[in-house]
Amino acid sequence: MSAATPTHDDERSATESEALDAYSRVVTGVAERLAPSVVNLRVSREGRGGRMPVGAGSAVALTPDGFLLTSAHVVAGPGRGGRAMFVDGRELRFRVVGVDRLSDLAVLRADGDDLVPAELGAAERLRVGQLVVAIGNPNGFAGSVTAGVVSALGRSLPARSGRTMRYIDNVIQTDAALNPGNSGGALADSSGRVIGINTAVAGVGLGLAVPINAATRRIVGALMRDGRVRRAYIGIAGGPRPLPPFARVRLARESAVEVVEVIAGSPAERGGLRPEDMIVELGGRAVERVDDVQALMSHDAIGRSLAARVLRGDRWLDLDLRPVELAE
């Protein structure tokens, strides 16, 4: 009696099973690799009667000697500290080293010297549709794992510190399920490298993460070293605006940043900027979006001359701005 010949449905079922097994192997591999590095945070603050609980979240171990990375909104506020709980059952006290609300990143220091640090990846290499795995502590359930894909790249997320607002650039959008408590946890690629810090739930089936890239690595380094991030400030509010036809032809691009408001007493006011001016170049670089202005507001620009090429009506102006340090 001959063996039955495999049908098309049998072959398709086998292929689907193999794909599912491969997917499962990737997700379980990432979870096993990162679980020791993802921490459950119980955040508290100093009160009249001692320390009082104020929230929870997640964090990622950066170094063996206790540095942790989390979301700023998880630990921001006076007198914050608390306990960091690991999957091996350890509980370590932590203190806040530095908080940067404008990137929604914070660095903590736990009282331990044998942590398992996560490997940081490069969000610049991500592609839409790529598999990602989120690990955190949603609703207090430690070590929870969800998986999905990168659903969009290049998103911007508003962040505020006092009266100052700026946009976090190149935020990662994913459909991996995120819930309260996931903030500060890891978003990892299929190799288990952390390519983002989960920061917000944007809607049903939609999550956002601050990318691990060159800019955020500098921010993390500054927080570890100095406890703060220094930024330059010129004192404008602005937005993108299409250039008039004659300017498009001259500049070979379509947009610039229109000055909507100039803060009284700011470097922008002292330098001669006015509302409705269109900034087309700053520091010798083309300006098309607010992001282009923000990218130049690093600590290196503080106190230095910054040439601004401006279109005012139909006139071209060259102004000199001297940014000051942004005070939160």
Confidence of residue 6 (pLDDT cuts 50, 70, 90): low
**Spatial CB neighbours of 275, under 8 Å, sequence gap ≥ 6:** 259, 260, 261, 262
Q: How many residues does the chain have?
A: 328
User: Among residues 229, 252, 285, which one ends one of the domains?
Assistant: 229
Mean local confidence (pLDDT), 108-118: 94
Q: Residue 4: its pLDDT value, please?
A: 56
In this structure, the answer to whether residues 30 and 116 fall within a common structural domain is yes
Mean local confidence (pLDDT), 36-64: 89
Count: domains in the chain: 2
Are 64 and 82 contacting, i.e. CB atoms less than 8 angstroms apart? no
User: Among residues 168, 202, 229, which one ends one of the domains?
Assistant: 229
Active-site choice (169, 183, 189, 277)? 183
CATH number at residue 138: 2.40.10.120
Q: Residue 197: its pLDDT value, please?
A: 95
**CA distance readout (Å), 19 to 13, 26, 65, 109:** 10, 11, 40, 41
Q: What pairs with residue 136 in β-bridges?
A: 144
In this structure, the answer to whether residues 186 and 39 fall within a common structural domain is yes
| Mean of the per-residue pLDDT values of the chain | 87
In this structure, the answer to whether residues 220 and 160 fall within a common structural domain is yes
In this structure, the answer to whether residues 148 and 162 fall within a common structural domain is yes
In this structure, the answer to whether residues 167 and 256 fall within a common structural domain is no
In this structure, the answer to whether residues 129 and 267 fall within a common structural domain is no
Q: Residue 12: its pLDDT value, please?
A: 60
pLDDT at 126 over 80: yes
Cα 30-189-290 angle, rounded to 5 deg: 145
Can you tell me the distance from the alpha carbon of 257 to that of 246, in angstroms, rounded to the nearest whole number? 16
In this structure, the answer to whether residues 211 and 286 fall within a common structural domain is no
Active-site choice (37, 58, 71, 104)? 104
pLDDT at 10 over 60: no
pLDDT at 140 over 60: no
In this structure, the answer to whether residues 150 and 194 fall within a common structural domain is yes
Question: What are the pLDDT digits (tens) for 142-198?
Answer: 668 889 999 998 787 877 776 676 778 788 999 887 776 788 999 999 999 999 999
Active-site choice (73, 161, 266, 277)? 73
Range of the domain at 222: 1-229
**Active-site annotation holds for 8:** no
In this structure, the answer to whether residues 182 and 304 fall within a common structural domain is no
- pTM tops 0.85, yes or no: no
In this structure, the answer to whether residues 185 and 53 fall within a common structural domain is yes
Of 266, 260, 295, which Cα lies nearest the Cα of 279?
260
**Active-site annotation holds for 161:** no
Higher-scoring residue by pLDDT: 170, 270: 270
In this structure, the answer to whether residues 176 and 46 fall within a common structural domain is yes
Any idea which of 135-144, 199-208, 229-238, 244-253 has the lowest mean pLDDT? 135-144
pLDDT at 19 over 60: no
CATH number at residue 281: 2.30.42.10
Can you tell me the distance from the alpha carbon of 281 to that of 135, in angstroms, rounded to the nearest whole number? 42
> Concatenated DSSP letters for 17-43?
HHHHHHHHHHHHHHHHHHGGGEEEEEE
In this structure, the answer to whether residues 202 and 256 fall within a common structural domain is no
User: Among residues 165, 194, 229, which one ends one of the domains?
Assistant: 229
Any idea which of 61-70, 151-160, 206-215 has the lowest mean pLDDT? 151-160
